[in-house]
Structure 1
Amino acid sequence: MSFEASKLFDLTGRIALVTGGGTGLGAIITQAYIQNGASKVFISGRRQEKLEETAGKINQLGYTGKVIPIVGDVSTKEGAQDLVKKLTAATDSLDILVNNAGIMLPVDPARTDSSKEIESPEDYAARVAGGDFDGWVDQFKINAIGPYFVTFGLLPLLAKAAKKGDGRGSVIVITSIAGLSYPPAMSAAYQSSKAAAISVTKGLATRLSPYQIRVNSIAPGVFPSDMSVNLLVDNVKNSIPVRKFGDPEEIAGLALFLSSKTGGYTHGTNYVIDGGRLLNVPAS
């Protein structure tokens, strides 16, 4: 048995779509794909200016592959269908789909500080009743329902790629350790939507198995991004067993593994990458 180590994460000639690719983890994964040989990485999002900015920065690095921005909104069925239509017009095969688009809204009031006297049931119930019901729905639309409809819309392109083998036809859903833990100080709406995204991943994996399409998810802990800015504080860092926040290379490496021949035997799994934070988070 032998293999060429330098080719383990090689994506030469592969085509990818990264939703929410203009910022945060999506931009990191996009750059990793280009640096490892992908010929085209389409990035989608609602802000054209941000997409073009990210595409320009990565394209200026001088790699052979190109980042191509596509405006798309996966928060509605029509938006997901429009994104699928645009991508189908741009390519006849899709090797990698990363469902990364997501939102976290402070729509439900967290429980009060556990170090203080607990509030009355009446006061707590009244605060929750004042929460944003529509905000719950919005998070489920983008974090869980969108990936389902986008993936099925691109099924023909993914199936065509999967027939070529070597790990092609890979779908990744970006979930979160929030979907695996339930500390009362965190948004219950976000936790629930990410738990749903993990379930959606499992459902997609079983439904797409006949087409040799692999579906996995990545559940990040705390990585610096626009979404996690409020978590980048010392008390959170000190609660992580490895005593640091995640680095770009670490999330990029896992995405490359799942998207390349090296990860060709991985299917239906939610990969936690959190520095051990779930070991210390309540109800993990």
Structure 2
Amino acid sequence: MKEKKNKPKYALITGGSRGIGRAICIQLAKDLDYGLLINYNGNKEAAQQTLNEVEDLGGKGEIMQFDVTDAEAVNKALDTWHSKNKDAVVEVIVNNAGITKDGLFMWMNQDDWNSVINTSLNGFYNVTNALIQKLLVNKYGRVINMVSVSGLKGTPGQVNYSAAKGAVIGATKALAQEVAKRNITVNAVAPGFINSDMTAELDQKELKKMVPANRFGEAEEVAHLVSFLASNKASYITGEVININGGIYS
């Protein structure tokens, strides 16, 4: 057991460069003793800024470029990292990368359908599948999947996004049962309207009337929940979908 404690431990956050992903990285740096692997796809500058903020807090980490939809790229990036960090173990996976391509279903083209499904659902598969055997060998792990209120109740104009997040919810519940005996938890966090790049163009004044709390949430509020689920304090919570939405759906 002592040997395992001495291994450098890491948390991988996909889509960690901005918005909720950045807030999660910062909160993990504050709360838990993990090196952070901050994944980004295209915006290296934003990822570096996240890392700078982590380091300003006394945390440590590195940025890691790959597209979660590209299984070969995911495996190559992680294999390269493991070969350079032979004693290190990734204990926490936060599947945060996601995109929206909103529009009514009858006008939705195949690219808008596929790209959203590929990022959220296949991204979850590509990243988690690449690491799950190591978690099982390690006999400890935390997998946290960022889903959405859309995946629970369905949102008109977001059939693709609702389908993708709903599928990840099903996968979360199934995988949780497969790996629980090895002290690995798998949970989903379902935000409602959160102030971020994704919601910047929404009519907040109109939409917050739908929210009993009468406001949009903050990325930091989501990050606190993720940080708790990533800790050993949450070891008896698994297969759950935790809403964080101001009461919009419960």
Deviation string 1:72-117 (CA, Å, 9 cap, x unpaired) is 11112222222332342354311211010111012x426xxxxxxx
- Is the counterpart of residue 236 in structure 1 residue 207 in structure 2? yes
Q: 2:23 maps to what in 1?
A: 28
Q: 1:16 maps to what in 2?
A: 11
| 1:180-199 correspondence to structure 2 within 5 Å | 180-184=152-156, 186-199=157-170
Q: 2:76 maps to what in 1?
A: 82
Larger Cα Rg: Structure 1 or Structure 2? 1
| 1:1-284 correspondence to structure 2 within 5 Å | 14-47=9-42, 48-61=44-57, 63=58, 65-91=59-85, 92-106=88-102, 108-109=103-104, 128=106, 130-161=107-138, 163=139, 168-184=140-156, 186-231=157-202, 233-278=204-249
TM-score (norm 2): 0.88
Change in 2 beyond 3 A, CA 1:207/1:245: same
Rounded to whole Å, the distance in 2 between the matches of 1:239 and 1:169 is 37
Q: Is the 8 A contact 1:14 1:37 kept in 2?
A: no
Rounded to whole Å, the distance in 2 between the matches of 1:174 and 1:232 is 23
Q: Is the 8 A contact 2:211 2:248 kept in 1?
A: yes
Which SS does the other structure have where 1:231 is aligned? coil
- Give the stretch that moved more between structures: 92-101 or 76-85: 76-85
Q: Is the 8 A contact 2:147 2:190 kept in 1?
A: yes
RMSD: 1.9
Change in 2 beyond 3 A, CA 1:205/1:83: farther
Q: 2:3 maps to what in 1?
A: none
Give the C-alpha shift of residue 210 in structure 1: 4.2
Q: Is the 8 A contact 2:155 2:162 kept in 1?
A: no
Q: Is the 8 A contact 1:148 1:204 kept in 2?
A: no
Rounded to whole Å, the distance in 2 between the matches of 1:86 and 1:97 is 17
- Name the one with the larger helix percent: 2
Equivalent residue letter for 1:102: G
| Unpaired stretches in structure 2, ≥5 consecutive residues | 1-7
Give the C-alpha shift of residue 14 in structure 1: 4.3
Rounded to whole Å, the distance in 2 between the matches of 1:55 and 1:208 is 31
Deviation string 1:200-229 (CA, Å, 9 cap, x unpaired) is 212221232343311101001111111111
Give the C-alpha shift of residue 24 in structure 1: 1.0
Q: Is the 8 A contact 1:136 1:189 kept in 2?
A: yes
Q: Is the 8 A contact 1:73 1:83 kept in 2?
A: no
Rounded to whole Å, the distance in 1 between the matches of 2:208 and 2:110 is 31
- Give the stretch that moved more between structures: 21-30 or 204-213: 204-213
- Equivalent residue pairs, number: 240
Q: Is the 8 A contact 2:94 2:146 kept in 1?
A: yes
Identity %: 30
Rounded to whole Å, the distance in 2 between the matches of 1:82 and 1:271 is 32
Deviation string 1:112-142 (CA, Å, 9 cap, x unpaired) is xxxxxxxxxxxxxxxx2x4211221111111
Which SS does the other structure have where 2:89 is aligned? coil
Deviation string 1:159-185 (CA, Å, 9 cap, x unpaired) is 344x3xxxx41000000001012343x
- Name the one with the larger strand percent: 2
